Amino acid sequence: MTTAHVSTAHAGTGSATTHKSTTKDRARPAVHSREGLRKTALRLALAAVLVFCLLPIAFLVATSFKSRDEVLSGHFLPLAPTLANWSSVFEIAPLHWHLFNSLAVAIVSVAVTLVVAVPATYAVVKLRRGPALAGALLSSYVAPPVVALLPLFFMMRHAGLNNSILGLGLVDGLMNVPVAFWLLRSFFKQVPVALDEAAWLDGVGYWRTLWRVNLPLLWPGLVSTGLICLILTYNEFLLASVLNSRPDIRTITVAISLFQGERVVNFGQMAAASLVGIAPVYLVALAFQKHLISGLGAGR
């Protein structure tokens, strides 16, 4: 091959390399622009979801500082803010006592739920006992609670548990067992079966295997499941309004509903009472948000 042919080949290779690098340089801005548009769209979507979630809270805050006439006028922000709703809401109802009742019922309910759901989930997932139990538990949650309201009322009355925190906590706890089972099932599946089999070969019984092998590894799941069931019980209204009729045992949800009179609805006072009732749940969710997120994403 002559020198002219070699130089021509080198020139062709160099031009091809230059063409490829130019094409890559042109493609990089396009890729960066698409990534920038994707990030911008994601941020806009997150901002829209945030506004959608915070708008009801902002409306409650604004309504709590409005007079009755301003509420009926339809303005979002109060034109003449007033603290009358906040001062009168604590005079009308002992909200602090209703908050205590709600928290007490929620704690009893979570204890009942975990005591029933943890062994049941262990038996189904690890021991392969009662495969139809999973479907039966989840199907029972499909029916609306009002279907079981009348039988529950008479059962609780015959048991002497009507108008008591223990009775309402017991009913709410049993109602939340399907939710707890659904959440705990994925956490139990994350614990290797080999650990249980090793314990069984050493002569450890089922209960001790559950207590000493599984539960120490399931604390995050137990915490998240307990928090979710606590929030569900705290927000429950139907059973609390029927099974507890005594004023001193009313929960916060029932107390808030009583601000609606026969002819006039005290929207400002109801908004203030609602904010007071939201505060404990909000603080709990803020303090344990990592466990709540893991629990809500665990139903696989």
d(CA 251, CA 228): 18
Which pLDDT does position 9 carry in this prediction? 46
Number of H helices, E strands in the chain: 15, 0
Assess whether pLDDT exceeds 80 at residue 271. Answer: yes
Read off the pLDDT band of 45 (50, 70, 90). very high
Assess whether pLDDT exceeds 60 at residue 238. Answer: yes
CATH of 89-296, one of 1.10.3720.10, 3.40.50.620, 1.20.1250.20, 1.10.540.10: 1.10.3720.10
Assess whether pLDDT exceeds 80 at residue 142. Answer: no
Tokens of 11: 């020139």
pLDDT in tens, 96-141: 899 999 999 999 999 999 999 999 888 888 887 766 777 777 777 7
| Sequence letter at residue 257 | S
Instruction: Provide the Cα torsion 55, 61, 66, 68; round to 10°.
Output: 80
Q: What 8-state DSSP symbol labels residue 265?
A: B
Q: What 8-state DSSP symbol labels residue 65?
A: T
Looking at per-residue pLDDT, the higher value among 292 and 14 belongs to 292
Read off the pLDDT band of 295 (50, 70, 90). low
Which pLDDT does position 8 carry in this prediction? 47
Which pLDDT does position 11 carry in this prediction? 47
Read off the pLDDT band of 4 (50, 70, 90). very low
C-alpha dist (Å) from residue 188 to 73, 205, 219, 223: 54, 17, 11, 14
Domain segments of the chain: what residues? 3-64, 89-296
C-alpha dist (Å) from residue 297 to 137, 150, 187, 279: 20, 34, 11, 24
